[in-house]
Structure 1
């Protein structure tokens, strides 16, 4: 059985941090499908950078707008940024 990956949502404008015990809870909080969050995090980059690569894809931009300025990180990625 795979261990749940903890997720940190960070808003650089407000410096607000939200911590989630798994990707599914993060997705539910932001009104997204779990597969969307999994795909964003498995890419290994914050969501904002991912969207720069996909800026012509309106669906991804609409999904990202649900994050209200938050960027998503796995707990391991966040521990690197937070030090």
Structure 2
């Protein structure tokens, strides 16, 4: 399974929902708290091609986008394939 990186911030319901879905798939998640770690928000924005909202989700080298994008992949049946190596 590909590694997953997710940029989050405290009290973000979308972040929690995304992590819950990814965890239910057995994904190994590395979480980056943009509020607690200096420079992480700038790193996230650069990696996400200007994306400034949390969460920003990466599966391997693929930028998925935010929570809505993640759930859209799940609805279309494409998330499982993306997570597989």
Q: TM-score, normalised by structure 2?
A: 0.30
When you count helix as a share of all residues, which structure comes out higher? 1
When you count strand as a share of all residues, which structure comes out higher? 2
